[in-house]
Amino acid sequence: MVLDATPAPINVSAAPAAETAAPPASEAPATGPVVDPVHPDRTVDINDSAARGDLWTRVRKGFAMPDLSDDWVRRAEQHYGGKPDYVRRMTERGGRYLFHILEEVERRGMPAELALLPFVESAFNPQAMSTARASGMWQFMPLTGKDYALKQNIFRDDRRDVLASTRAALDYLGRLNNMFGDWHLALAAYNWGEGNVQRAIARNQKAGLATDYSSLRMPDETRYYVPKLQAIKNLIASPESFGVALPELRNHPYFLSVPIQRDIDVDLAARLAGISVEEFRQLNPQMNKPVILAAGTEQVLLPYDNAGRFVGNLKAHQGPLASWTAWVAPKTLRPADAARQVGMTESQLRDINRIPPRMLVKAGSTLLVPRTAGRNADVSEHLADNATMALAPVNSREWHVASLVDRMRAIA
């Protein structure tokens, strides 16, 4: 758990909605070799021999950290080895993201063990949220996320963004390794905080003791942290020894990125791609609302085989792409009054904006509301990146008077 310009994946060009027919499947841009915009001199073709290779073999070849072997590692091995169904679910889920993470790890010259860290942090669940409010597959706390340019507002939380959180986590781990000169200590700092590790090292130095990971005094959670990663490494290196079966993963991207040029509803985006909303959210878990704002989310991730379908269907789509937009409260309002102004019921406004009872919406707050003929422009970049909602409790007398006024209006 982490205490408190993203490299793009392979890209498929998308165009705004237009009144043109979808291209035949043979012309869908995701079916042949695709240029990697991060490395323009390279193309990826899932049909070539390298892409048909085993991704787990590539992971194993990149292992470079010194091994740990102690009782903590044995305990972790027993934990994972005793839950083959859990390991299967975890590795199948991780298969969506592992190729991209390994590419970024290798590009930075880091050991491949780091690509396995989300197994320890979140079981590779990009929507994971801890009781301490750490979020995403890399489990960033809010303040640390902000330190590493992970936007968090009412529309999105980049701590859950697959690309942005991976970039941030590897940036942070690289910084910690430069600070401590040791990957095990860097991992301890990632979990426990760099200040705590520095103080633990200083205590051992003062006492004339060794300052390696195994020699430091630390909480059990951190003591167990690197051994869990070591156990995952051992399991990946020799799954048959633990009686587990790894899913087949090929050495090519699971997903492609498709640029988004207009605001679009999540449900519609999933339908145009031919996937379920749940699958769409597994690849784009940063969305807090049922609409994707193009000004804040320049691209969506889609399974390799569905990206071309999305592009073609988007070109052929007629009608609005988004049914929601942002509205800024001009003054402090009761939810009922705000709902009347934007043409919603109070319950709809409360549900979509998660407004609890007996709260006022303060002036300047941004609410998600339906698009109308007079309110249909895409949300601005400033609002997409900086939208906030502030609430204030209403006192009992004000609430009683307001309720009386509402009843009188209803009678009239």
What pLDDT sits at residue 34? 55
Could you tell me the two tokens for 20?
């043109």
**Per-residue pLDDT averaged across 124-149, rounded?**
96
- Phi/psi at 156 (5° precision): -155, 160
What pLDDT sits at residue 304? 87
User: What's the angle, vertex CA 333, arms to CA 331 and CA 338, rounded to 5?
Assistant: 105
Average pLDDT, the chain: 88
Strand partners, 299: 259
Percentage of residues of the chain with pLDDT beyond 70 = 84
Lowest-pLDDT range, 25-39, 198-212, 240-254, 290-304?
A: 25-39
Could you tell me the two tokens for 57?
């073999």
Tens of pLDDT, residue by residue over 355-369, are 999 999 999 999 999
Lowest-pLDDT range, 43-57, 142-156, 288-302?
A: 43-57
- How far apart CA 359 and CA 399 sit, in angstroms, is 9
Tens of pLDDT, residue by residue over 157-189, are 999 999 999 999 999 999 999 999 999 999 999
Listing DSSP states for 378-389 in one string gives PPPHHHHHH---
- Catalytic positions are 121
pLDDT at 24 over 60: no
Q: 191 and 225 in contact (C-beta within 8 Å)?
A: yes
What pLDDT sits at residue 399? 46
Tens of pLDDT, residue by residue over 300-309, are 999 988 999 9
What pLDDT sits at residue 305? 86
* Residue 36 or residue 385, greater confidence: 385
Q: How confident is the model at residue 7 (pLDDT cuts 50, 70, 90)?
A: very low
Helices (H), 158-242: 162-180, 183-192, 194-206, 220-223, 225-237
Provide the residue ranges of all domains of the chain, joining segments of one domain with +: 53-242, 255-316, 324-411
**Per-residue pLDDT averaged across 232-246, rounded?**
96
pTM of the model: 0.87
User: What's the angle, vertex CA 335, arms to CA 334 and CA 341, rounded to 5?
Assistant: 95
What pLDDT sits at residue 25? 32
What pLDDT sits at residue 1? 65
Q: Maximum Cα–Cα distance for the chain, whole Å?
A: 84
Percentage of residues of the chain with pLDDT beyond 90 = 81
What pLDDT sits at residue 394? 86
**Per-residue pLDDT averaged across 291-313, rounded?**
94
What pLDDT sits at residue 17? 38
pLDDT at 27 over 70: no
What pLDDT sits at residue 265? 98
Tens of pLDDT, residue by residue over 52-90, are 789 999 999 999 999 999 999 999 999 999 999 999 999
**Per-residue pLDDT averaged across 304-331, rounded?**
95
Lowest-pLDDT range, 39-48, 193-202, 300-309?
A: 39-48
CATH number of the 53-242 domain:
1.10.530.10
